[in-house]
Amino acid sequence: MNADRPTTPTEIFRSALASLRSGDVTGWVDLCAEDVVFEFPYAPAGRPQRLEGKKAVASYLSVLPGSIEVTKEPQVTVHQTVDPNKAIIEMQIEGRVTATGAPYDQSYVVVLTVADGLITLYRDYWNPLVVIDMEPSA
């Protein structure tokens, strides 16, 4: 393992978030294990509830850069669990939807599990109503 590579859930999450904010989807995906699982328990109909593997995660994340202009530094609180490989993360993101100009205000709670310095499980609890409201009307 590279000595410069983040290893704790906190370090890995902060590195992944920085990658995504800079539009570097590959940087985020490089922090994932080959068999990574992303879960979205509250995903609305038509949206994935589970992604398996780096390729699926890369495809899913590829549409995010440029879709939301973040107007305020994300508020992130990491709660390290008694399991050193698991953390609970609270995050608040404010901005505007690039396509519509609509405000974007989303709260997330993420259960992040890592092994050998890589994300193995990313379970994301977020409000689907915010996403539904941000889509352009037909």
Q: Which CATH architecture has domain 9-134?
A: Roll (3.10)
The strand order across the sheet containing 50-52 reads 50-52, 32-39, 118-126, 103-115, 86-97, 68-80
pLDDT reading at 3 higher than 60: no
The reported pTM is 0.87
pLDDT value, residue 128: 81
For residue range 18-64, list pLDDT tens digits in order: 998 888 999 999 999 999 999 999 998 888 999 999 999 999 998 88
Query: ∠ CA(88), CA(89), CA(90), 5° rounding?
Result: 125
By CB atoms closer than 10 A (0-12, 13-18, 19+), residue 21 is: middle
For the segment 125-129, the average pLDDT, to the nearest whole number, is: 85
Q: Provide the 3-class DSSP secondary structure of residue 2.
A: coil
For residue range 82-118, list pLDDT tens digits in order: 999 999 999 999 998 888 888 889 999 999 999 999 9
Closest-CA residue to 125 (of 28, 39, 11) = 39
Backbone phi and psi for residue 19, each to the nearest 5 degrees, phi listed first: -60, -50
**Core vs surface per residue 32-63: b (16+ CB within 10 A) or e:** bbeebbbbbeeeeeeeeeebeebeebbebbee
Domain borders along the chain are 9-134
